[in-house]
Amino acid sequence: MFAKAFRVKSNTVIKGSDRRKLKADISAAFPSLSADELSELIPNKEELNVVKIYAHKGEAVTVYVLHKNPLFFELEKRLYPTVYVLWRYPNLLPTFRTWPPVLEKLIGGADLMLPGVVVPSSGLPDVKQGDCCAVTVVSNGAPVALGTAAVSSAEMYSLGMKGRGLCVLHTYMDYLWAFGDKSGPPSLPDAESEGQEVDEVEDDVNEKEEDDVVEKCVEENGCEPRSCPDFTEIMDALLLRCFLHALKSKVKKSELPLLTSTFLRIHMFSCCPSGKQLDIKKSSYKKLSKFLQVMQQQHHLVRVKELTKGVESIVEVDWKNPELRSFSIPEETDVEAAVVQDGGEGEIMYHPPEITTLYSVPARLEPLFLDANKRKGTTLHAAEVRSIITEYVKKNELVDENNKNYVTINPTLCDCLLEKSEYQEVQSLKWDDLTMGRMQESYQVVFPGQASIIKKGHIEPIDISVASRGSNKKVTLIKNLEVYGLDPAVVATALQHRVQASSVLHQIPGAKDKVLVQIQGNQIHQVGNLLLDHYQIPRKYIQGLDKAPKSGKKK
């Protein structure tokens, strides 16, 4: 509903009688909230705004906002909590779990389809059609979306976990979330994995995808699927099959050394047969590194080496290995089968991260921020900095009476902003000269479904350059893709299809987990189009677009 921008009709402060009615409505809609919790959500003496909006399809929605964060929204006389409320009370609604790639689909406006639901060992939550439900991703218990059940949980089972599961109304990273402070979801325990005394292979088991052999074993022998030896053996065999298939048909010698993570994500997953799901955690190996160790030491198929600390790469493949040579490539493969699907579409939608410039309070400027309880090292948005400084200036009556564009220097401003040589000379400063240029810059990056990351300094732009190879050959080099959540191998493949030229990946010396993409020719135009149009990376975060070849005039 909020995947696209909405229009604000009005924004007013709630009246006392309306506040009491709202609290009563919330209590009736969500009876699990205690009186104290309800008072924390809707305090009596703090300003609460009622914002009336029109969604992009014309629906009239009322949003209740406290401290600039939307708490609840009302649609067709029914109240729904926002993710900001669900992060404080994660057990407020029955919850369905899904995979991180599915979240990206939901953010784009898709509903949650049943094939993308991870069924826990305890079964699905008991819901009726139309019940309000939350969505979490595997490994984090913080809700990231909410909607209404398209069918009851009983019908979900009877449908074979196929079809629409939840009609999604609101997600983390949508425009309603962006109407608030844009904070990321907290890291909360995943209820499914918490307290279970079972092997790690249980964590992400989706029972609808278990093999027929295992189901037969359950029926005949009564064993649990997660501990069933047949199930583990089947996953081990599937891993080996996809591994051999990838080596024989996907990997080229020119691609070596190849990151092991890239090999799994790009090559092995694409070789997974239709109807199967490749998951190392469900195998006897549990980890990719252990599986590759067996492939190296026992099967002698590859040689794996740690080229940089903590990052393994396949550096050599024995193409003459009898096991590899005798392997027959299956006729049917399905790239999409290895990805959790939504509505039949297998492609994972990329969403660029939300990047925000922040300012850190330095020790020298700390006295200006003490009234706002901000200490040295606190990171603030530009608007917060301006608001705090404006409040300080007005509180101390420092606006120049003759020219309101200037601020009179008092002893505190003198100590914070001026050099000793300026003490006697400078009597006033422009508003713009007060703090911004004197604060330590940092940045915040928020990826879909993840907590925000704050780092000092400026964010590195994606760097595109052209280098010479040989007498008259040019290659285009692209680095820092990982900073923006882009997989270099995926970008390289996309460029190969666009320009019909070969590409290779190189480990960047001294840079952990960073890879350089190299593609033949001066391809800056095509790289720019891919990053700007397809991946929606803002131009200001791309460096080197000016090095594109000038198009000559045709005579």
Domain membership of residue 104 (yes or no) is: yes
Domain membership of residue 367 (yes or no) is: yes
Domain membership of residue 218 (yes or no) is: no
- Residues 102, 151 within the same domain: yes
Least-confidence region, from 355-369, 402-416, 442-456: 442-456
**Residue that finishes a domain, picked among 443, 470, 499:** 443
β-partners of residue 8 are 53
Instruction: Write the pLDDT tens digit of every residue in 278-295.
Output: 778 888 888 888 999 999
Domain membership of residue 1 (yes or no) is: no
- Residues 68, 157 within the same domain: yes
Provide the CATH number for the domain around residue 466: 3.30.780.10
Structure tokens at 142: 């913080």
Range of the domain at 543: 460-547
Q: Which of 185, 194, 256, 197 is nearest to 224 (CA)?
A: 197
The answer, yes or no, to whether residue 255 has pLDDT greater than 50, is yes
Residues 6+ apart with CB under 8 A from 73: 61, 62, 63, 64, 79, 80, 82, 170, 176
Most confident by average pLDDT, 78-82, 480-484, 497-501: 78-82
Contact between 157 and 51 under an 8 Å Cβ cutoff? The reply is: no
Provide the CATH number for the domain around residue 314: 1.10.10
- Residues 376, 490 within the same domain: no
- Determine the residue type at 534: H
Residue 268: its pLDDT value, please? 85
Most confident by average pLDDT, 119-123, 142-146, 443-447: 142-146
The answer, yes or no, to whether residue 345 has pLDDT greater than 60, is no
Residue 364: its pLDDT value, please? 87
Residue 296: its pLDDT value, please? 93
The answer, yes or no, to whether residue 96 has pLDDT greater than 80, is yes
Residue 553: its pLDDT value, please? 46
Give the mean pLDDT of 452-456. 83
Domain membership of residue 192 (yes or no) is: no
Domain membership of residue 349 (yes or no) is: no
Q: Which of 176, 215, 194, 150 is nearest to 71 (CA)?
A: 176
Most confident by average pLDDT, 162-171, 435-444, 505-514: 162-171
- Residues 52, 162 within the same domain: yes
- Residues 248, 308 within the same domain: yes
C-alpha to C-alpha distances, 493 to 205, 259, 345, 357, 531, nearest whole angstrom: 31, 15, 19, 32, 13
Q: For 441-456, b where at least 16 C-beta lie within 10 A, e where not — what string? A: ebbbbbbbbbeeeeee
Instruction: Write the pLDDT tens digit of every residue in 295-317.
Output: 999 889 999 988 766 678 899 99
- Determine the residue type at 542: I
Cα R_g (the chain), whole angstroms: 28
Whole-prediction pTM: 0.42
- Residues 479, 417 within the same domain: no
Residue with tokens 């290779």: 504
The answer, yes or no, to whether residue 219 has pLDDT greater than 60, is no
- Residues 81, 168 within the same domain: yes
Domain membership of residue 508 (yes or no) is: yes
- Residues 373, 311 within the same domain: no
Q: Is the peptide bond before 257 cis (omega within 30 degrees of 0)?
A: yes
- Residues 131, 175 within the same domain: yes
Give the mean pLDDT of 136-161. 91
Domain membership of residue 336 (yes or no) is: no
The answer, yes or no, to whether residue 486 has pLDDT greater than 90, is no
Residue 354: its pLDDT value, please? 86
Dist CA 358 CA 438 (whole Å): 13
The answer, yes or no, to whether residue 162 has pLDDT greater than 80, is yes
Q: How confident is the model at residue 445 (pLDDT cuts 50, 70, 90)?
A: confident
Residue 450: its pLDDT value, please? 64
**Residue that finishes a domain, picked among 157, 179, 201:** 179
Exposure on the CB side of residue 154, measured as CA atoms within 13 A:
2
Dist CA 341 CA 116 (whole Å): 6
Residue 228: its pLDDT value, please? 53
Residue with tokens 């501990």: 227
- Residues 489, 528 within the same domain: yes
Least-confidence region, from 72-86, 409-423, 522-536: 409-423
- Residues 141, 25 within the same domain: yes
Instruction: Write the pLDDT tens digit of every residue in 509-545.
Output: 777 667 889 998 899 999 999 999 888 899 999 999 9
Dist CA 541 CA 357 (whole Å): 12
- Residues 410, 471 within the same domain: no
The answer, yes or no, to whether residue 164 has pLDDT greater than 80, is yes
Instruction: Write the pLDDT tens digit of every residue in 221-244.
Output: 444 444 455 457 778 888 999 899
- Mean of the per-residue pLDDT values of the chain: 82
Number of domain units in the chain: 4
Residue 551: its pLDDT value, please? 63
Q: How confident is the model at residue 447 (pLDDT cuts 50, 70, 90)?
A: confident
Q: How confident is the model at residue 349 (pLDDT cuts 50, 70, 90)?
A: low
Contact between 487 and 500 under an 8 Å Cβ cutoff? The reply is: no
Residue with tokens 């939307």: 70
Residue 274: its pLDDT value, please? 65
Give the mean pLDDT of 377-397. 87
Most confident by average pLDDT, 59-68, 258-267, 307-316, 492-501: 59-68
